[in-house]
A and B are shown apart, each in its own frame.
Chain A
Amino acid sequence: MNLRKTLVGTAIALGAATFTAGTALAACATDGLPGEMEKPDGFPERALSMIVPYGPAGGSGQVAQAMAEAVTELTKVSINRDHKPGGSGTVGLTAYMATPADGYTVLEHIDDASSAHALDSERPNPAEDLIPLVTSQITFSQIYIRTEEDRFSDWPTFVEWVKAQDGKATIANVSKEGSMERVTMKFITDATGMQIQQISFDKGAPRYGALAGGQVDALFEQPGDVRKFLDSGMFKPILTILKDAPEAFADVPSLTDVGLDFEPLFRFRGFYVAAGTPEDRVKWLQWAFQKAYCEESYQAYNESKFMTLIESFRDTEGSKELITNTIAQYRDVYKEMGLEVK
C-alpha cells in the first residue's frame, strides 16, 4: 500500500489536530476573543446574505441556520439564507463566485468543495479563492447495521459474512464518483479483501429507510445524522472510521482496533467569504463567525449532532490547513484510483 504511506505525511497533522475529544465542551475554542468588535466603517449596515448550496432540511441547511442565528444573537445583524441546491454543491458555489466581494454575502460549504477542486483544479479552491471564516463542524464516519440483525453482530462477523456473499452484500451511502464515502470504502475493501456493492442514495431518509427495512445490509454514515436511530436502538455502529475511538463510542472498534491502517477522511462544514473582500470586513466577519461558534445555542446544536466528539473548530488558518491537506489527500487517492485529475 504505497498510497497509505503517501497519505500518512499529508494527513498526520490533520489527524493529530482533529482528535482532541472533549476539549470543545470544557472550554470553547474562541472564548478568548473579545465579546464585541467595532464595525469597520459601519460594516455591515444592512443584513448579510448566506448562500447555502444545499436544501434547508439537510445537514448543511441546519448548520447554516444554527450559525446564522448564533451570529445574529451575537451581533444583532440579520442573515438571510439563500438556498441554491443542486449539482452536489456546484450550483451554490458558482452562484456565490458571481457575487461581489464586499463581505455582504457569505457562503456555507462542505468538504465536497475541496474534493471537487482536487479532481478538477478549475473548480474554486476553498483555501485560495475563498477566505474561510470558520470551520464549525468536523465529523467522522461509521458503519452501521440493524440492531436486530442476526446474520452478523460486529465488525469481524460482518467482514466474514460479506466475504461469503461473493460480492452480493450491499451498503448504502452517497457513493458518487470521488466522494469521501467511496474513497473510504475503497480503503476498507482493499484492506479487508471484502467485495461489497455500494448503493448510492443521495437523500438521507431513503438511505436510512433502506437499512431499517432490510433493503441493504449496512450503512455508511456520520453519527450525528443517524443519532435518532442510535438513541432508539434501531441501528448500531460496528466500526468507527477513526484511528482511535472517541469516548462516546468506546465500545465500537476503531480502525486501529480492527487492524486497518489508513488515514480517515473527514466530513467538514464551514463558512466562507470571497477572496478580495476588504480586509477590515473580513476581520469583522472572522470575529463574528468564530465567536458565534461558542454561543450557547450553536454549541447546543453541535452537541445534539455529535459534533463535539472530536474538535470541530478551525479558525481561518486552521481551515486553510485542513482544506489544503484534504485536497492533497484526495488528489493522491484519485490518482491511485485511476481517476482523471485535471
Chain B
Amino acid sequence: METFNNFIGGTVTLFGDPIGILIFFGGVVGGMLFGAIPGVSMLTLAAILLPFTAHLSAEHGIMLFSVIYCTGVYGGAITAILFNIPGAPENAPTAFDGYPMTLDGRAGKAVGAAVMCSAIGGTISCVIMMFATAPIAGWAIRAFGPPEIFALVFFGLAVAASVGAKTFWKGWLSIMAGLMIAVVGLDPVGGIERYNFDMPYLAAGIHFIPTILGFFAVSEIFVQAEKKATGAYKAPELSVDFPTFKELWLHKIAVIRSIIIGFFCGILPGIGATLAAFMGYNEAVRWSKDRLSFGKGKIEGVISSETANNSATGAAMIPLLALGLPGGALTAMMVGVFQMHDMEPGPLVFINSPDLVWVVFAAMFFANLSILLVGFLEAKTIVNLLRIPFQFLAPMILLLATVCSYAVRGLVIDVVVMFVAGVAGFFLRRSGYSVAGIVLGLILGKIGEQTFAQAMQMLHFEFTGFFNRPIALGLLIAGFITIGASVYGAFFKKSDVQQSEA
C-alpha cells in the first residue's frame, strides 16, 4: 500500500507541474527520435542535454534522463526493422527477424510487435523496480560476480551458435570469428596490446557498433544492389497492419521469458540491455520447436529481443538508485545529473530524496506506457519511409551508417571497419555463415574474456573453483548440455536418418 501511495505521490508531482509535463513529453519524443535516427542515439541526446540539466530541478533533470532511456531503447528498433540498421546494439537482435519481416511485406507487424513488447517489458520491469529495488540490488551484486557473468556469457554463446547459420560448423565458426575479432586491442587485465599490428588506433579494439552496421546495413545494401542489378529486386511492401492482441497472446511465454531474462541482465552492473536482448533472442530460439524459421522473419524474434531490452531499462535503475552503480553509458550519465545537483545515487537517495525517486519511478512507468501511444503514431508515419525508392534510400542509409560509425569514437578506422564488415558480411551471408553469430561473438567475447580473467584471478587459477559457486556451475552445465545437444542434433540424429534411409 505504501508503494502505491508513493507511486500516486510521484505521479501527482510529475503531472501536477506543467514544466514537468513538458519535459516528460519532450523526453518521450526526443528519446524515440534519437533512438530511431541512425547516426545519432539516445546517448547523443543525453550528452547534448547534460549541461542543460544543471538549470533544471533535480527531479526534472533525472526524470528527463530516465524517460529518454526508456523510449530511446525502443526507438532503435524501428530502423532495425525497416532498414536493417539497429539504432543501438541492443536492437541488433531485433533486426535478425524484423528486417526479413519487412522484406516480406510485414513491416507493420514487426514494428507493432516492437512497440507493444517494448512497452510491456519496460512497464513490468518498472513495476518490479518500484517494489523491490533495494533487496534485488543487494542480491544481484552478492550472487553475481565475474565467475557467474562469465558462465552466463558461455551459456549465451553456446545457445547462439545455433542462430542463423546453415550448419553446425558454420554456426560455431561464426561465433569463433566474433570471438577472434573481440581479442583485438588491449587485453582486459594486463593492458597488453594484441593483434593491433603497431597501429595505435587498433589498440582500442574493434568496436561492435561499426561492425554491426557493416554486417547488417552495409552488407544488406550490397545484397539488395546485387538483386537490383540482376533484376531480382523486389521493393518491400508497405504495411501498417499491426499485430492483433490475439497474435501477441500466442507468444506470451516468449514475452514472460524475455522479461525475466531482460530484468536479470539489467540488474548486473556494467552489463545492461545489449546482453539482455541477445540472451532474450537466443532463449527464444532455444525453446522454439521451429528453430530454423528464426532469422527468416519470425515475429517471436522481434518480440523476444524488444521485450528483453526494454525490460533491462527498469532493472538497470535498480543498481543505480540503490547502490550508485550504473549499468551502462546512459545510466552513467545519470550519475552526472545527480552530481550536478549535489546528490549521489545510492542508498542515501532513498533516505534523503524519496520524492525524487518516486517521480523517477512514475516517469519511467508512464514513459513505457507512452511508447504504446506515441510509438504507434510514430510507427504509422515512419513505415512510409519504405516508399522511398532503393536507389535513393541506399545512399542515404550508407551515409547515415558512415556518420554513425564515425560518431562512436570519432575515429576513421571505425568507418573502415564498417565497410570491411559490410563486404565480409555480403560474402559470409551468401555462404551460409551467421553474421549474427559473429556480432554476438564480438559483443559477448569482450565481456566473456574480461570476466573469465577476473574469475580465474578470483578462483586462484583453479577451474574447480566454479564447483563452489552454484549459479556459475549451473550455467556452465547448461552451456555444456546445450553444446552436447547441438552436437547430437547435428551429427548423430543425421546418422540415424541416414541409417534408416539406408
Inter-chain contacts of A213 with B (CB < 8 A): 138, 140-145
CA distance A86 to B325 in the complex (A): 21
B450 at the binding interface (Cβ < 8 Å): yes
Q: How far is the CB of A233 from chain B (nearest CB, A)?
A: 8
Question: Is the beta-carbon distance between B324 and A90 smaller than 8 angstroms?
Answer: no
Q: How far is the CB of A67 from chain B (nearest CB, A)?
A: 13
What does the 1/0 interface line of A34-66 toward B look like (CB < 8 Å)? 000000000000000000000111100010010
Question: Is the beta-carbon distance between A209 and B410 smaller than 8 angstroms?
Answer: no
Question: Is the beta-carbon distance between A232 and B191 smaller than 8 angstroms?
Answer: no
A23 at the binding interface (Cβ < 8 Å): no
Which of A57, A205, A231 is in CB contact (< 8 Å) with B269?
A205
A216 at the binding interface (Cβ < 8 Å): yes
Question: Is the beta-carbon distance between A200 and B204 smaller than 8 angstroms?
Answer: no
Q: How far is the CB of A83 from chain B (nearest CB, A)?
A: 7
Which residues in window 372-430 of B have CB below 8 A to A? 409-411
Which of B47, B203, B454 is in CB contact (< 8 Å) with A86?
B203
CA distance A176 to B450 in the complex (A): 12
B345 at the binding interface (Cβ < 8 Å): yes
CA distance A197 to B454 in the complex (A): 10
Inter-chain contacts of A178 with B (CB < 8 A): 191
Which of B51, B190, B346, B454 is in CB contact (< 8 Å) with A229?
B346
B146 at the binding interface (Cβ < 8 Å): yes
Question: Is the beta-carbon distance between A201 and B203 smaller than 8 angstroms?
Answer: no
Inter-chain contacts of B140 with A (CB < 8 A): 213
Question: Is the beta-carbon distance between B270 and A206 smaller than 8 angstroms?
Answer: yes
Inter-chain contacts of B411 with A (CB < 8 A): 84, 91, 95
Inter-chain contacts of A175 with B (CB < 8 A): 189
Which residue on A lies nearest to B460, using beta carbons?
Answer: A168
Most chain B beta-carbon contacts within 10 A, residue among A69, A82, A231? A231
By DSSP majority rule, is chain B's interface helix, strand, loop, or mixed? helix
Question: Is the beta-carbon distance between B204 and A205 smaller than 8 angstroms?
Answer: no
Which residues in window 169-225 of A have CB below 8 A to B? 170, 175-179, 197-203, 205-206, 208-210, 212-216
Q: How far is the CB of A280 from chain B (nearest CB, A)?
A: 29
B223 at the binding interface (Cβ < 8 Å): no
Inter-chain contacts of B344 with A (CB < 8 A): 227-228, 231-232
CA distance A234 to B324 in the complex (A): 11
Q: How far is the CB of B187 from chain A (nearest CB, A)?
A: 9
Q: How far is the CB of A185 from chain B (nearest CB, A)?
A: 13
CA distance A177 to B194 in the complex (A): 14
CA distance A203 to B339 in the complex (A): 19
CA distance A178 to B193 in the complex (A): 13
Most chain A beta-carbon contacts within 10 A, residue among B140, B191, B270, B323? B191
Given the known interface contacts A69-B51, A95-B411, A198-B457, the answer about A212 and B325 at a Cβ–Cβ threshold of 8 Å is yes
CA distance A139 to B146 in the complex (A): 29
Which of A201, A208, A231, A304 is in CB contact (< 8 Å) with B339?
A304
Given the known interface contacts A201-B454, A205-B269, the answer about A304 and B342 at a Cβ–Cβ threshold of 8 Å is yes
Which residue on A lies nearest to B145, using beta carbons?
Answer: A215
A94 at the binding interface (Cβ < 8 Å): yes
CA distance A35 to B145 in the complex (A): 52
Given the known interface contacts A90-B204, A234-B347, the answer about A210 and B333 at a Cβ–Cβ threshold of 8 Å is no
Inter-chain contacts of B201 with A (CB < 8 A): 91, 94-95
Interface residue count on the B side (C-beta < 8 Å): 53
By DSSP majority rule, is chain A's interface helix, strand, loop, or mixed? mixed
B186 at the binding interface (Cβ < 8 Å): yes
CA distance A227 to B338 in the complex (A): 13
Given the known interface contacts A200-B454, A227-B344, A231-B344, the answer about A205 and B270 at a Cβ–Cβ threshold of 8 Å is yes
Most chain B beta-carbon contacts within 10 A, residue among A168, A178, A205, A216? A205
Question: Is the beta-carbon distance between B326 and A205 smaller than 8 angstroms?
Answer: yes
A167 at the binding interface (Cβ < 8 Å): yes
Inter-chain contacts of A206 with B (CB < 8 A): 269-270, 325
CA distance A307 to B185 in the complex (A): 32
Given the known interface contacts A91-B200, A209-B323, the answer about A82 and B410 at a Cβ–Cβ threshold of 8 Å is yes
CA distance A88 to B188 in the complex (A): 10
Which of B144, B270, B410, B458 is in CB contact (< 8 Å) with A216?
B458
B19 at the binding interface (Cβ < 8 Å): no
B319 at the binding interface (Cβ < 8 Å): yes
CA distance A234 to B375 in the complex (A): 41
Question: Is the beta-carbon distance between A57 and B342 smaller than 8 angstroms?
Answer: no
Which residue on B lies nearest to A226, using beta carbons?
Answer: B324
B332 at the binding interface (Cβ < 8 Å): yes
A85 at the binding interface (Cβ < 8 Å): yes
Most chain A beta-carbon contacts within 10 A, residue among B47, B142, B323? B323
Question: Is the beta-carbon distance between A212 and B141 smaller than 8 angstroms?
Answer: yes
Question: Is the beta-carbon distance between B188 and A212 smaller than 8 angstroms?
Answer: no
Which of A62, A69, A199, A228 is in CB contact (< 8 Å) with B457?
A199
B329 at the binding interface (Cβ < 8 Å): yes
Which residue on B lies nearest to A227, using beta carbons?
Answer: B344
Inter-chain contacts of B450 with A (CB < 8 A): 202
Question: Is the beta-carbon distance between A177 and B346 smaller than 8 angstroms?
Answer: no
Question: Is the beta-carbon distance between B205 and A86 smaller than 8 angstroms?
Answer: yes
Question: Is the beta-carbon distance between A212 and B146 smaller than 8 angstroms?
Answer: no
Question: Is the beta-carbon distance between A65 and B51 smaller than 8 angstroms?
Answer: yes
Question: Is the beta-carbon distance between B191 and A215 smaller than 8 angstroms?
Answer: no
Question: Is the beta-carbon distance between A177 and B200 smaller than 8 angstroms?
Answer: no
Given the known interface contacts A85-B409, A208-B324, A228-B346, the answer about A91 and B204 at a Cβ–Cβ threshold of 8 Å is yes
B453 at the binding interface (Cβ < 8 Å): yes
Which of B192, B204, B324, B329 is in CB contact (< 8 Å) with A57?
B329
21 A-B Cβ contacts within 8 A? A56-B50, A57-B326, A57-B333, A65-B336, A83-B409, A86-B185, A87-B193, A90-B200, A167-B460, A168-B460, A176-B186, A198-B457, A200-B190, A205-B326, A213-B140, A228-B345, A231-B346, A232-B346, A232-B347, A234-B346, A304-B339
Known pairs A56-B333, A177-B192, A209-B323 / 6 extra A-B pairs, C-beta < 8 Å: A57-B326, A85-B409, A87-B193, A87-B205, A199-B454, A215-B146
Lowest 4 CB-CB distances: which A-B pairs, in order?
A86-B204, A213-B141, A57-B332, A228-B344
